[in-house]
Amino acid sequence: MIRIAQPFMGAEEEEAARQVLASGQLAQGPQVATFERRFAELCQMRDAVAVSSGTAALYLALQAHGIGLGDEVITSAFSFAATANAILAVGAMPVFVDIEADTYTLDPAQVEAAITSRTRAIMPVHLYGHPCSMAQLTAIAEAHALVIIEDACQAHAAMVDGRPVGSFGTGCFSFYATKNITTGEGGMITTNDPVIAQKARLLRNHGQQARYQHTMLAYNMRMTELQGALGVVQLQKLEYLTARRSANAAYLTEHLRGVVQTPVVRPGCKHVYHQYTIRVETGRDELAAHLRACNIETAVHYPLPIYRQPFYQQSPTLFRIAGNSARNSGCQRSASDETPPGLPVTERAVREVLSLPVHPALQEEELSVIAREVVAVCR
């Protein structure tokens, strides 16, 4: 089976884990601190705060900025549910706007039109490893005094005009098993604001300013030393891993261009190919079934917009779809409604996208098989 994702680990990670186990220091310690320092350097930021997951990073970033009950955060519905769940978790309301058809990232024009007096933040999602239109989003945020919290969980080392994602506002990264670098689980917050960094450090550790002195309500969202040690080693490999992903993507694009819609890379952007996602206008599911029969894993990222997830359908007053006349409809379909409210570009994307294997462990023979079988079906 040619897997859709595969962690890239070896003897260096094993040795790093062994050293941590031998040290007896298993909770957050010097390895985590080293990982934080080096990740901040990667993102060209003053501080990086390691946490237990990418979801925790989003949640704590929102909390650190004081975003909560009654506030609105503009974001994408074409993402993993954690993007919006973190907004709900702090008591705020996700406001979903549509995406650009080629990059699957937030459409700046839609963002500006969705701003209200309750808007506090924009949460762009650098989906699949391609950065959002950050120059436009930053200008909008500055004009309206809004916070930018970047969901960069799929975009380690992606860049816009030479500037890394995670440096345009408060960055949030994930180190889940399938990400471009992994610690199994884990996350990181990047910031140039020392106040935000300090709040995030308190919030991840029970609000302890000093041991057993709790200055705020908070919980345990720390990163372990084992995760930190793995992160240090993986970070050393990131340039190589990104180059492998890019080379694999280039191979697939060369062989699939003109057969299916291949990923777009905007001028000035560095795409890091967390996913290699094609678009298939008709027969997407049939193509996936054929590839599965050929022992090639694929995935649909994502088969439902977040607002169509069961929980959101059951709780339609917790979110808003910008531009909909039915403000809090929950997008529920009625017998007489063949075109339920939604975001048209997002709705089309969920029907057409298909991710193919692009991870660094792929061999050229496997890439050849993938390309051959896609072409065989689509032609």
pLDDT-derived band at 220, boundaries 50, 70, 90: very high
Specify the CATH number of the domain 11-233.
Answer: 3.40.640.10
Which pLDDT score, from 0 to 100, does residue 45 have?
98
Q: Spell out the alpha helix ranges (H) of the chain.
A: 11-23, 30-42, 54-64, 82-89, 108-114, 134-143, 194-203, 225-256, 284-293, 310-314, 344-352, 364-378
Residues 331 and 313 sit within 8 Å (Cβ to Cβ): yes
| % of residues, the chain, pLDDT over 90 | 94
> What 3-state DSSP class applies to 304?
coil
**Is 195 a residue whose pLDDT tops 50?**
yes
**CA 154, CA 236: separation in Å to the nearest integer?**
18
In tens, the pLDDT along 7-33 reads 999 999 999 999 999 999 999 999 999
In tens, the pLDDT along 67-95 reads 999 999 999 999 999 999 999 999 999 99
pLDDT-derived band at 340, boundaries 50, 70, 90: low
The secondary structure of 24-79 as a DSSP string is: T--SS-HHHHHHHHHHHHHTT-SEEEEES-HHHHHHHHHHHTT--TT-EEEEESSS
- The average pLDDT across 222-230 equals 98
CA dihedral 23, 56, 69, 308 (to 10 degrees): -160
Q: Name the pairing type of β-strands 187-191 and 170-174.
A: antiparallel
Report residue 4 as tokens.
């859709």
pLDDT-derived band at 326, boundaries 50, 70, 90: very low
281-to-343, 348, 353, 358, 368 alpha-carbon distances in Å: 18, 9, 9, 21, 23
**Is 162 a residue whose pLDDT tops 80?**
yes
- The average pLDDT across 201-229 equals 96
In tens, the pLDDT along 248-259 reads 999 999 999 999
**Is 337 a residue whose pLDDT tops 80?**
no
Which pLDDT score, from 0 to 100, does residue 234 have?
98
Report residue 330 as tokens.
């929950």
**Is 243 a residue whose pLDDT tops 70?**
yes
**Is 174 a residue whose pLDDT tops 70?**
yes
**Is 332 a residue whose pLDDT tops 90?**
no
Q: Is the peptide bond before 128 cis (omega within 30 degrees of 0)?
A: no
pLDDT-derived band at 342, boundaries 50, 70, 90: confident
Which pLDDT score, from 0 to 100, does residue 327 have?
39
pTM for the whole structure: 0.95
CA dihedral 131, 133, 137, 138 (to 10 degrees): 70
**Is 328 a residue whose pLDDT tops 70?**
no
Sequence spans of domains, the chain: 11-233, 237-302+348-378
Which pLDDT score, from 0 to 100, does residue 324 have?
57
**Is 284 a residue whose pLDDT tops 70?**
yes
Residues 94 and 319 sit within 8 Å (Cβ to Cβ): yes
Which pLDDT score, from 0 to 100, does residue 379 have?
83
Which pLDDT score, from 0 to 100, does residue 323 have?
75
**CA 343, CA 347: separation in Å to the nearest integer?**
6
Cβ-based neighbours of 265, under 8 Å, separated by 6 or more: 130, 271
- The average pLDDT across 136-151 equals 98
Q: Please report where in the chains the tokens 């930018």 appear, as a residue.
A: 148
Residues 181 and 241 sit within 8 Å (Cβ to Cβ): yes
Which pLDDT score, from 0 to 100, does residue 95 have?
98
Average model confidence (pLDDT) for the chain? 95
Domain range 237-302+348-378, CATH class: alpha beta
**Is 117 a residue whose pLDDT tops 50?**
yes
